[in-house]
Each structure stands twice: as C-alpha cells, then as structure tokens.
Structure 1
Amino acid sequence: MVQMCRMVCQSTAALVLSGYVSSTSPPSPMSAIVLATINARYIHSAMGLRCLAASLEGLDATIAEYTLRQSAVDIAADLLERNPTILGLGVYIWNVRLTLDVVQLVRSLAPSVTVVLGGPEVSHEPVDPSAWQPIVQRAHYTIRGEGETAFRTLCEAILAGTPPTGRMIDGGLPPLAELPLPYALYTDRDIQHRVLYVEASRGCPFRCSFCLSALDTGVRAVPLEVLFAELDRLFERGATRFKFVDRTFNLHIAKSSRILQFFLDRMRPGLFVHFEMVPDRLPTALRELLAAFPPGVVQLEVGLQTLDDETGRKISRRQNLEKARENITWLRTHTGVHIHADLIGGLPGEGLDAFARGFDTLLSWGPQEIQLGILKRLRGAPITRFDGVLTWSKAPPYEVLATDALDFPTLLHLRRVAKVWDLVGNSGNFVDATPLLWSGAPSPFFAVSDFTRYLMAQVGQTHGIALLRLLWLINDFLVEERGLDEETVRAALERDYTRSGRKRVPRRLRGDAGSRRSATTRRQARHLEGGAAPVVSPQGIT
C-alpha cells in the first residue's frame, strides 16, 4: 500500500557478492558480515539487502532472509551459526517487534557481534538517545536513510579496528546514477518463486502528510540503458515477475514510455509488471503503450487515498479527481491493465459518510481492486502534526484508533470492513456475487458494511474463514437478510466457485462450468475470468 513508502534501500546492512543464502538453506560458511531482514512473506524479496550487497563488492558477507512465521530463537540461532563479526538488520514497520527480539538474543548470546540497524522504521529517531526506541538503544549503530555508502564505510572501519564513536550515522543521498545495481544478486530460486523488485528512480515530488516520501528532496533516476541491460540479464535467466518500487512511475512520460516499450518488446507467457501510478497523469503516449499489452500483464497501483477535496487539502494531497476518474475509466474500457486503487480510512477530518462516498465513487470507476487501508503513523512522516486530533496505537503498525471525525468503535468497524472487502471484493473469488451485495441498495459501501456486521454476528471474526464457508455466508446474507432471489444468488455463486477450475461443485450449487488458464497471477486471473467490473452509481448497480 502507498503508506508503506517502499524506501527499499534503507535496510542497513552489509553484503556482498560472496553469495546469497536463504533462511531455508543450510548456513553458509562463516562470514565477517551477515545482512538479514524479516520479510512479511516468503514471496517478497528484500531489494534493500541486495542494493547494499552490490555496493560492498570485495567484502566477506552473506545475506539471510526470514519471514514473520519464524521465531526469534530460530532466526537468532541461524544467524549466530554464521559467526558474523557484523550483523546488519533491515528494520521495517512490519518486522520491528520480531527484530527487537532477535537483537536482544544476539546481544545476550554473542556480545562480540556488532549489531547495525537500518531501514525506514529506525531512520527518524530523536536527537536524545534516551528517547530512542528500544531496538535502537540495544544496537551498536543505526544508519539513517539510504545505506549503500555509509554502511560500507562503517563496516570497513569496524573490520579495521577503528569503529566510530557516534552510534547514529547519517546515510545521506548516495549518487544513484553511480551506484552498482543489485539485480545479479537475485538467485535462480528468487526468479522462480518470488517477486523481483526493481527501481528506475528514488524520491517523490509530492508532500502527502501520511507518507515518508514527503521528506524526499527530489527525484533521482537510474540511467535507463544500465537498468535495461540488467533487466535483460534477468530475462535471460527466466524472470517474468517485476515490481517497480518507484513512487511516481509516470512522473516523466518519456522515461515511462521507454520502460513500457522495453517490456512490450519482450512480451512472453507469464510476464507480469507492476507500477505505481500518479492517478491524474496519463497522456496519449502512455495510453497507447498500455493498450498494447495483453490483459493482466500490467498492474497499476493507483494511490488516490481520499476522494474528499477538503481532506485532501488537509493532508497536502494534490490531485485532479476528475482527471483521475477519466484515466481510470479509460484504462478499464480500452486496456487489459489490472488496476489496484488505494483508499485510506482514518484521515483527519474525514467522517464515515465522506469515506463511504469516496468508496462508492471509486467503485463506479471500475478498478478491479480497491485496497482499504487504515492510516498509520509512520515514524518521521508529517502526519504527526495532527497528533492533537488523532489517537494512535503505540505498537506497530501504529494505526490510528480515533480521529476528530471517527470514534474508536467506528474505526474498528471500518478496519473489519476493509478485511471483508479484501476477502470478497478484491480476492476475485466472488466476481459475480459481490455486486449483489449492493444490488438495489443506496450505497455499496454501507451494503458491504452491513455484510461485515452479519459476518461478525455469525462467525465472530473476519479472518480464517474457509472459502466454502464464506460462500454460504454470502448466500445466506443475500437470500435471508437482503431478500434476493435464491436462484439468482446461487447461479452467481456457482459461476464464482467453478471459475478457477474447481470441478466438485457443492450439492447446494447446481450445474457445471469449464475453466481456462491465464498466464497472469491467480488473483488477477479470477478478475479477468469474471469479465468487466460492474458499473456502480451512488444509487446502486447499473
């Protein structure tokens, strides 16, 4: 989501061309430097580690990656078996708790290991060391910002026996055009099983209060010829899934066009490319290129965040909503691009009715997915200027608990609505049944809200619900609570259930349906199989 501010090269650590070692393989031979992080899921690959590794050629280092499913004891044991002199850890909002436990274990079991931190979650500490968060206090050093240059300098000093006295080190802004690129450090296993993160630029020209990119001092670019050469090498190794982490992919149209043309010239089965798009900037040159891609190959993340003008002004979010509407509807009508749009709940001053209007309006534009996120207080982001009217959770991920326009029970319900919408509307599992939730209702959002309350009353949770169980809950809600025609509901659910190739149709559903396979991701394929998204007006489905 847009709030996560993928400042991918802010992991701290050290690594090198001596080799990549995953957490699932046997420990590598002993290394002077071990660079590690804890990813949210295995499919995610830590680009930040590889950026640092590419800048540390010649040093003895290895990478170790873990996931949130692993315990701190197991992670610490694996790290210490590598017997590092320096342990660099990338710290993010999703892994700071578990990483703190790892740091405490390492400091207790191996006091001689120098622990260095980096990443967005530890790059904005106060000046007073006594006010640092616990993980920073426990580490020997912390690098703020981008770490390619600063971390190498630190490692060389430590290994030479001349460590610096200051514990907080400013990473500065390394010259992006001069840094070696990290893509050779993606392993064959990464290429086969994980998303490969790519960057053509760093920085963002906008100043949205909720985002760490508001602190950027401009946009810096990677030379495209150099990037393309590296991407060609990945293609030669069989890579097909690329996710660009650029904050504003379509900021410079000429460069964006060259990147799109690069991938269009290399079309092949299974190709998938993700970009983050400025929603109100889609000139003819980009439209023509996007229209040339087969369905499902390109995914655009469109970070609208709010459709309420007054809220947008409060958070310094500048966007032309009419132009955004025109662009999104054009993409849905004329291309096979998969659109993933973002809205944030809990923004200062935005009440439930305004948020609902925004959701209903965005839904009428037809994006395949709408991610509903809850505002987070990212360390260092300008959103802290609203601390007087926003009440925050003190624990990661620091979500807002109450605002000047939403009390705690309402925000709690909104969080549940977001989870239910992801289960039903975004998953692609219920392409035909989802529009029935608001059929004849004045507001799609409040219809989904009603279903969320129904779900909580029936099962008491919005997670861990088996697909077939969720199917019957939707059926019963639509038939018994909404009074929709039973045959219409079950026909829609049957189409949804069999769309992805399931052949054993439950007894309560009738008929059979074929399936077809797609080269794109399973989640996108379900949307593609379901055809165009329904057009929704504030008064209901049309």
Structure 2
Amino acid sequence: MKILLTAVNAKYIHSNLAVYSLRACAKKRGLSVDVREFTVNQPAGHVLEEIYLEQPEILCFSCYIWNITYIEGLIRDLARLLPQTPIWLGGPEVSFETENFLLSHPEVTGVMVGEGEETFCELMSFYEHPEGKNLEDIRGLVFRRQEFAAETAAGDGMAEKEMTGKEMTGKGTDIRAGRELVRTGEREPMAMDDIPFPYEDLEHFSNRIIYYESSRGCPFSCSYCLSSVDKCLRFRSTDLVKRELQFFIDHRVPQVKFVDRTFNCNHRHAMEIWRFIRERDRGVTNFHFEISADLLTEEELAFLGTLRPGLVQLEIGVQSVNERTIAQIHRHMDLTRVKAACAQIRRGRNIHQHLDLIAGLPEEDFESFHRSFNEIYELRPDQLQLGFLKVLKGSYIYENRKSYDLLSGSLPPYEVLSTRWLSYREVIRLKQVEEMVEVYYNSGQFPASMELLERASEDAFLLYDAMGDFYRERGYFDMSHSRARRCEILLEFASSRQFAGVCRRRPEEEILRQTLTFDIYSRENAKARPSFALGPPPSRELRRKWEERGKSRHLEWFTREFWRFLETFGGLEEAVWQDRPGAWALFDYDSRDPLNRRARVTPLKGEPGSAPDGCGSGTD
C-alpha cells in the first residue's frame, strides 16, 4: 500500500520533524511510508502534479498556520483527482475545532488530533489490515462516518453546520446527533524514548536546518501559546540524546535546532547536554536552544561563557516588560534576572542571542510597547524579533478574545488587528517599526550607522518609528532595494523632517557617509565602490603592499572623527589616529567574527596618516 506523508514548509531551508518522526515510528512497526516535502513558495500546480504522480493510496498532510491555506487548495483538487484515496490531516492547525473543520472540508476523511506517532501507526495498520478492526477503537481521531463519506464522494455534499461546544469537547466516542462525525478517545502521551530517531539518512538534509526534540510539553501556561495545552512535560533520556547528537556532529551538520519549548527548565538535563556538545565540538555544528533567561543559574551562565563562539545560539522570549501584561498572559518572569542574564551572555561575545517581543498582548498599549521595545533593545541582542500576537485556536487567549475586544485576521496566521488597548492604526505603525528593525538592525548590515543615528535620537523606538513613517511617505515599502540603495535611503532619512522630529542633534553627513562605507566593507569586499564613499580608493602601491599578504582584503581611509566614534562603538585597542587626520582600515575577510560574520578590521599604524585627495581633512 502506498502511504504518502506530505509536508509543506515555509522555506526550503526548513525541514518537517513531524513527518520524519511519523515515518520512523511506522518503520519500527514494519510499515512502509513515503515522505515528500514542498514549500509554500512553489507553484501549487507543480505540487499537485508531484503528489498525483506518486499515486498514493493514503495521503496525509502535516498542517500549520503557515501552510493550511495552501493545503486546503491542494486537497480540494486531490480529492477529485484521487477520489478513492483517503485524505488525513494532522498538526496543530487542525487539532482544535476539528469537527467544524471537517464539516467545512468534506474532501477530508479525518484528522489525527494531538500527539501523532501512535495514532498514525495504528491508523495505517488499520488500512493495511482492516479485518476485524474498527476505526472507533483508535484513539486520537476525528473522522467522517463511512456512509457520510460515501455520500460526499457521490457529490451529495454535507450540511455545513456549527457544532456546539458540548458536542465538540466530549470524551470518548462523540457522534453529532448520531450522524456524520466520530471523535474517539484522547491519546495518552507516549514516552519520549519510545520515539525512534528520525534522521538515519541525512541525504535529503544538505544545507537545511535539522530540527530535534529532547523534551515535549512546557512547564508554563502562557495564554497565547499552544505548548501550554500539553501539560505532560517529558524528557528523552540524556544517554539517548547524546548518541543522536553525536550522529549530527559526526556528519558535520551545520545547525541543529532544538524544538524544546523551554530547554533549560530542567537544570540537570540541560547541563548534561551542554557539557556533551562542548566536549564533542568539532568546530562545525551550531546548536539552537529556546530558553527562559531568568531560569539560568550562575553555574549555567558561567558554563555558557566557556563555549566556542558560534557553538550555541539562544532564543529568549521576553514578550513584554509590562507587569500587568505578564500577569494577563499567565507568564512568570523575573525581568531583573532576565536582563542580568542577557547582559552577562552578551559580555561573553560567544553566543548569538535572539530576543522576542510580542505586540498586541492584553494590557499593552502603544506607549507600553514603546517602553518594552526600548528596555529590551538596550540589551543589544544579536536579533530583536518584533512579532505580532497570533490568536491560535485552542489557546486561552483565543477562548477569551471577546473580553479583550481582540480582533484578529480571519485567515492564517490569525495576527492581531486591534485590541482594547491597541488600535489598528497603531498596529500598522508597529508593522512599519518591525520592517525597519528587520532591515536595519536584525540584518546586521548597518551596525555602525544605526549606532550613530541612535546616539543622535531621543530613543531607539522613536528612531525606527520615524524611519517607518519616512519609508511610507516616500513609497519605499512598495519597492525592492539593494543594500547600497538602503544606505542611500538612510542618508536621505538623516536629512528628513521625520528624523528631525526625533533627534536631539543631527550627525555630520561626513561621519554618516563613513559609517555606511564601513558597514558595507565590514560585510563584503564590494565590487562596486559605494557612491557615498568619502574619497577615492587607495593607491595602487598601497593596495599591492597589503593585498599580496592576503587576497580577501580591502583598504579604506577614514577620518579621525570617524575613528573616535568607532572607538566608543567597537572597542578598538588603541587610538592610532591621534595627532593625525585619519588612518587606513584593513578589512580582512579571511578572519570573520563567528557570530555576526563581519570582517576583522585593523587600523594601520605604519601607513601615512594624511588624507588622500578628495577625503575630508579630519581636523577639529
């Protein structure tokens, strides 16, 4: 029997842990299962062709907020092209209000609800050997009774009728008025060690992120998150985890991303794994963990400071600094400890930190979010993710959305539109801030230039807000821009009325032109010299002298004022430009920072300090 598990990912670089875990469990039971992965960026017609040519006898899809709309379109056509093929869905996007979903999607045979490994294996075994078996005996299913499935296939259709809460939440077998749908009993959580390792073959994972779980469930009950629904926190034994991580290290996998909801909630478990990856590190694999910073102990913080730069990256969900908001979302967080831990990690300069904020939470108005942004921005994470509340079916915040006057998008990803505290116009402004933070901060392409503008501004949030207003006024959100063009736009912004409204003093254009040039060459040895560069390139003799020592190098001259600024920003060891109008900078692309991939920059002491023709004088 041809069983096809289908994943539709957000990007090619992502992989779908769920389908590979299901396949591994099926293989352990002697079942043969094929897997196909696609992305939402591929033409739906092409994906339809590929699935049809597989000629599956059973077709299963893994459903999330980023792919459910795409999958709905596919299954409508697949049900007509493959009328004899049962179509089963699973995943968080169909595990809540499942009966309503099935009533509005008659082409779907049924849904696997909740944890899927055991349910999937029993369901596939039923299809392989149905003799003497009954679907109603398989826990974790909501499905259409056979006689109604036959009616649907014949084209009679089904009434799309809302089910009451009582009908939808019953335990055991739940048949609406004895008619279309059956909900079987809940599936008990399985032991983590019973889940087979899903990555015995890495052939299909070249240049892709590997996802891995060492625990399921979450000790917290955040009202916006579906992880809080799973109250059973379970861990995979560390001996088993170590063997599997060694497999990734041996195969030189670039990145392993743990999907554990709060990796460090168990101190012993976390430390044992962190010690192992330090001991076995070969300088290639990076491990990503989602943690709670306020749970980090002094021992853990000290240990993290000993890791190779780039071995580990940490994602830390702060969400808000508003105490009323934190209480409303049922989150427990010691903000003082969070800030102290993040600051200590940053001082170590060896771990990439990714901090999260969520806009649209209860009790958080525009000014409150303004404060949250600035307080977290001051921690200077490598990335600051400004996300927007997604009102997920099954979450506490979804069930209580009316009490918050919460409006969200009617289609996935169900993002917040407005709340009692935040208008839609303010959401639009925050969307603009988000885009500016992504382009000018999270990209890591403009660090010196943004530092210069931030120092001249009243605060960081107002700066990005003004940039968003400038982009919208000029129509720049509707265009695509090269990196060099983004630099030119920043120069335009620095002389705009929007920047004038938030700055205490305007930085000199000559310094900003130099920071932009510095930012360009810190990332790449640009083939085309930037139009805003302060002066001509170095002489042929000077280039020959330094480039013969290494091919991946670039020379650029900067004024004394720029070097003074850079000293306060980048921590240069000595002021080589003292009593000189400026100095040459050597950008070495063979020696990059392992966290931000910027080239090593060295001011040249032994070269003439006079300004090349066309450069600023550098005098006070």
| TM range, smaller chain | 0.7 to 0.9
Which 5+ residue runs of structure 2 have no aligned equivalent?
137-141, 144-182, 500-505, 538-555, 557-585, 603-620
1:58-73 equivalence runs, <5 A: 58-73=30-45
* 463 and 44 in structure 1: CA distance in 2 versus 1, 3 angstrom threshold: farther
- 1:347 deviates by 0.8
* 171 and 529 in structure 1: CA distance in 2 versus 1, 3 angstrom threshold: farther
Matched, 1:209 2:223: yes
Give the greater-gyration-radius structure (CA): 2
Q: Secondary structure at the match of 1:370?
A: strand
* 240 and 289 in structure 1: CA distance in 2 versus 1, 3 angstrom threshold: farther
Query: TM-score w.r.t. structure 2 length?
Result: 0.76
What's the RMSD between the two structures over aligned residues? 2.1
- 1:328 deviates by 0.5
Query: TM-score w.r.t. structure 1 length?
Result: 0.87
8 Å CA contact 1:479–1:489 kept in 2: the answer is no
Q: Measure, in 2, the Cα distance between the counterparts of 1:146 and 1:517.
A: 47
Matched, 1:113 2:186: no
For residue 95 of structure 1, the aligned residue among 38, 58, 67 is 67
For residue 356 of structure 2, the aligned residue among 329, 336, 342 is 342
8 Å CA contact 1:297–1:520 kept in 2: the answer is no
Q: Secondary structure at the match of 1:280?
A: helix
Residue by residue over 1:395-423, the C-alpha shift from the partner in whole angstroms, topping out at 9 and shown as x without a partner, is: 11101101111111110121121122111
Match of 2:260 in 1: 246
* 212 and 528 in structure 1: CA distance in 2 versus 1, 3 angstrom threshold: farther
1:7-406 equivalence runs, <5 A: 32-57=2-27, 58-125=30-97, 129=99, 131-132=100-101, 137-161=106-130, 164=135, 167=143, 168=183, 170-185=186-201, 187-190=202-205, 192-384=206-398, 385-388=400-403, 389-406=405-422
Paired AA for residue 259 in structure 1: I
Match of 1:445 in 2: 461
Matched, 1:461 2:477: yes
Which of 503-512 and 421-430 deviates more? 503-512
Q: Secondary structure at the match of 2:263?
A: coil
- 1:136 deviates by 5.1
Paired AA for residue 459 in structure 1: G
8 Å CA contact 1:500–1:515 kept in 2: the answer is no
Match of 2:587 in 1: 514
8 Å CA contact 1:240–1:270 kept in 2: the answer is yes
Q: Secondary structure at the match of 1:432?
A: helix
* 199 and 473 in structure 1: CA distance in 2 versus 1, 3 angstrom threshold: same
8 Å CA contact 1:328–1:366 kept in 2: the answer is no
For residue 475 of structure 1, the aligned residue among 478, 487, 491 is 491
Q: Secondary structure at the match of 1:502?
A: coil
Match of 2:524 in 1: 501
Match of 2:180 in 1: none
- 1:480 deviates by 4.3
8 Å CA contact 1:431–1:530 kept in 2: the answer is no
Paired AA for residue 164 in structure 1: L
- 1:179 deviates by 2.0
Q: Measure, in 1, the Cα distance between the counterparts of 2:592 and 2:274.
A: 19
8 Å CA contact 1:271–1:519 kept in 2: the answer is no
Paired AA for residue 500 in structure 1: R
Q: Secondary structure at the match of 1:397?
A: coil
Residue by residue over 1:358-416, the C-alpha shift from the partner in whole angstroms, topping out at 9 and shown as x without a partner, is: 11111112211110001111111111213341111101110110111111111012112
8 Å CA contact 2:488–2:532 kept in 1: the answer is no
Which 5+ residue runs of structure 1 have no aligned equivalent?
1-30, 532-542
Q: Measure, in 1, the Cα distance between the counterparts of 2:592 and 2:200.
A: 25
8 Å CA contact 1:80–1:106 kept in 2: the answer is yes
Match of 2:547 in 1: none
Q: Measure, in 1, the Cα distance between the counterparts of 2:24 and 2:591.
A: 35
Paired AA for residue 310 in structure 1: R
Which of 37-46 and 430-439 deviates more? 430-439
* 299 and 75 in structure 1: CA distance in 2 versus 1, 3 angstrom threshold: same
- 1:283 deviates by 1.0
Paired AA for residue 387 in structure 1: K
